[in-house]
A and B are shown apart, each in its own frame.
Chain A
Amino acid sequence: MISLAVFNDLLHGFSTVLDPMNLLWAVLGVTLGMLVGILPGIGPALTIALLLPITFNFSDPIGAFIMFAGIYYGAMYGGSTTSILINTPGESASVATAIEGHKMALKGRARAALATAAIGSFVAGTISTVLLTFVAKPIGNLASEFQSTDYFAITLLAMVAVTALVGHSLVRGLLSLTVGLFIGLIGLDSLSGAQRYTFGTLRLLDGVDVVIVIVGLFAIGETLHVASKLRSTPDRPAVLEKGQLRTGYLNKSDWSRSWAPWLRGTALGFPFGAIPSGGAEVPTFLSYTIEKRRARKAGRKHPDEFGDGAIEGVAGPEAANNASFSGVLVPLLTLGLPTSATAAVMLAAFQIFNVQPGPQLFEDQGTLVWTLIASLYVGNLILLIMNLPLIQIWVQVLKVPRPLLYAGILVFACLGVYSLSGSGYEVLMALLIGVVGFFMRKLDFPIAPVILGVILGPTMEEQFRRSLVISNGDASVFFTRPLSLIIIVLTVLALFVPYLPRIVARIRGTQASRDRLTFGEDD
């Protein structure tokens, strides 16, 4: 039976992850993740990119990936802390949480809000990891049927869909994507050996390292952005009420109001993580909207609490953003396809360790994959145990003057880039890209498409040219294979998703709203 084999593999994964050293990586990853989760402007994508140079020295990649995964879902949770306590979402995935969460805190229910976020994250993380456990391998088997035309189409879909959903303007998104594709092209062409966009310098022959692009855009660009608007009214954290019950801080009615939103949030987060929608932004807002609508419909018990600190509005979105992480892993592990900026950085990490995610991953790197999956179970437990005790520390971190905080990050970023090559040239390059990133932020160009373009562009080109070589240069091959055609049609449709509300309104003949579905930058 397949399922028995899965258990066997998973148990093997647990035996590796429970190794003290690997447990330490999990704790470190989760803690770092929570830290960057609470800091506005710094997300998991940047953190993983900063740590990439350090992990070059790891003898085996398992520890690194356990840590990276911990950073990802730790950040998903960490964002909720600042959302609730000071109404400053550290992560785009926590914006929905701030709406009700901060209201709860103002009413003296900060602990309950934090607890429902933590326990919801744990429940959602665990359920979605179970789903990942059983879904990953069958999808991987399915993907082994994929040909190069399909891979080309699906890479295109990932880039276009994320670009369409992220940011406020499709044109700006596509421009960002083009910049990313351009950077990805720099260097030697692997097939013909021709130099592309090297401007005659030897330095650019190897292309631009992905780490430099990520550190430049996220760390340096973002830091400059924060620095450009440094002074603002500071917040004071909502006072944490003294816990009457040490366990959970949730009373009976909180529990009964939280569990259903947790499950609904999980059901939204997992599939949305798996499809290219830019990560956790979409499902968190969907979850919030659904909980709000349900509360309005039910109407009897807690009629007008939404907008005034309804616990459902915290429980649902927080479950959704953690569930989305396991969802993100499905296409990443089985197809080598990132659906968010952070996933793209993780893909780069896989490539650095010479691990190629895709259908063969479960065969070639069984231990790595199953240990990674097992670490999610363990990491979610660590998150649940650690988060409430650590809140006071996070509050202290936020009291640090921002010039010190972000200058430190800038130094660390430059050190990381310098350690890549030991030459100042790379640091200058990162600074240059950082300045570009700053102006992109200022002028409202999304960053995520750039990263996807840099990382997926070369893959897409390779698959594209391989398809053409196989078909003797006949481009119709992309439209004659049904699977490829379906994916390409989906890609075209993805361009219209942001305009869905307007299209629906037009069809219904109602007042065409000027709304466009937009979602902020996701990490």
Chain B
Amino acid sequence: MTGEHRVKILVGYVPTPEGEAALDAAAAEAVLRGASVLLLNTSRGDAYIDNRYANQAELDAAESRLRDLGVEVTIQQAVGSGDVAHELIKAAEANEVGLIVLGLRRRSPVGKLILGSTAQRVLLESPVPVLAVKVPTPHD
């Protein structure tokens, strides 16, 4: 925290429980560090339907949630970039963020084999620390 400008936190947001958990963690972290948040939502854009691409109402809700905590937010949405992990890292580098926050979900080994794991790639390739969050379950 030596720079003149404030620290930025990048959160990979999807309108799912994992995404909401990531958003919560990012908000808490932003309050703690006095940082601003860059919210990124992407879709590969190669399917006719993608529930992970947020609509305006969801983006507005996420934005107001952060604003209510007094956190400054910038929202970015991108389609068709091909690779979500790459997109996140690119955004992290371009905006010089200090932290990436991600939601994790349980994937079967087969699912991982076929589709790969975005989270794993971000964890391995990110130039900055990554905070990975799980959805809180009643069992935990």
Chain A residues with CB under 8 Å of chain B are 40, 82, 86, 88, 230-237, 395, 398-403
B43 CB contacts on chain A under 8 angstroms: 233-234
Contact A88 B79 (CB under 8 A): no
From residue B124, how far is it (CB to closest CB) to chain A in Å? Answer: 23
Within the complex, what minimum Cβ distance (angstroms) separates B26 from chain A?
Answer: 23
Q: Which residues of A contact B49 (CB under 8 A)?
A: 86, 234-237, 395, 398-399
Which residues of B lie under 8 Å from residue A232 when comparing CB positions? 45, 79-80
Q: Do the beta carbons of A401 and B79 come within 8 Å of each other?
A: no
- Within the complex, which residue of A88, A230, A234 is in contact with B50, where a contact is CB–CB below 8 Å? A234
Q: How far is the CA of A194 from the CA of B58 in the complex (A)?
A: 70
CB-CB under 8 A from B45, the residues of chain A are: 231-234
Beta-carbon contact of B48 and A402 below 8 Å? yes
Where chain A touches its partner, the secondary structure class is loop
Which residues in A have their C-beta under 8 angstroms from that of B80? 231-233
Query: Quick check: A399 and B47 within 8 Å, CB to CB?
Result: yes
**What are the interface flags for B31-48 relative to A under an 8 Å C-beta threshold, 1 for contact and 0 otherwise?**
000000000000111111
Alpha-carbon distance A237/B44, docked complex (angstroms): 17
Q: Are B46 and A402 in contact (CB under 8 A)?
A: yes
Q: Write 27 A-B pairs (CB below 8 A) sorted by A numbering.
A: A40-B48, A82-B48, A86-B48, A231-B80, A232-B45, A232-B80, A233-B80, A234-B45, A234-B48, A234-B49, A234-B53, A234-B79, A235-B48, A235-B50, A236-B49, A236-B50, A236-B51, A236-B55, A395-B49, A398-B47, A398-B48, A398-B49, A399-B49, A400-B47, A401-B44, A401-B47, A403-B46
* A402: B residues at CB distance < 8 A: 46-48
Q: Which residue of A lies closest to B15 (CB)?
A: A236
Interface residues of B (CB under 8 A from A): 43-51, 53, 55, 79-80, 82
Contacts of B79 in A (CB 8 A): 231-234
Taking the closest CB of chain A, its distance from the CB of B77, in whole angstroms, is 9
Closest Cβ of chain A to B55, distance in Å, is 6
CB distance from B69 to the nearest CB of A (A): 27
A230 near B46 with CB under 8 A, answer yes
A40 to B48 alpha-carbon distance, docked (Å): 9
Q: Please, how many angstroms separate the alpha-carbon atoms of A344 and B45 in the complex?
A: 35
Expressed in whole angstroms, the Cα–Cα distance for A232 and B44 within the complex equals 9
> From residue B96, how far is it (CB to closest CB) to chain A in Å?
28
Q: Evaluate contact between A236 and B53: CB separation under 8 angstroms.
A: yes
Structural contact, A88 and B48, CB atoms closer than 8 A: yes
Q: Decide if B47 touches A231 in the complex (CB within 8 Å).
A: no
Determine the distance from Cα of A163 to Cα of B46 in the docked complex, in whole angstroms: 33
Most buried by A among B45, B46, B48: B48
Nearest A residue to B79 by beta-carbon distance?
A: A233
Q: Which residue, of B45, B47, B50, B55, has the highest number of chain A Cβ atoms within 10 A?
A: B47
Taking A86-B49, A399-B49 as known contacts, 8 extra A-B pairs with beta carbons closer than 8 A to each other, sorted by chain A number, are: A230-B46, A234-B46, A235-B48, A236-B53, A236-B55, A401-B46, A402-B47, A402-B48
Distance, CA A133 to CA B55, complexed state (A): 49
Which residues of chain A are near B53, meaning CB under 8 Å? 233-234, 236
Q: Is the CB of B46 within 8 A of A399?
A: no
When distances are taken between beta carbons in the complex, the residues of chain B under 8 Å from A237 are 49
A84 to chain B, nearest CB (A): 13
- Provide the residues of chain B in CB contact with A399, threshold 8 Å: 47-51
Chain A residues positioned under 8 Å from B47 (CB to CB): 234, 398-402
CB-based nearest A residue for B54:
A236
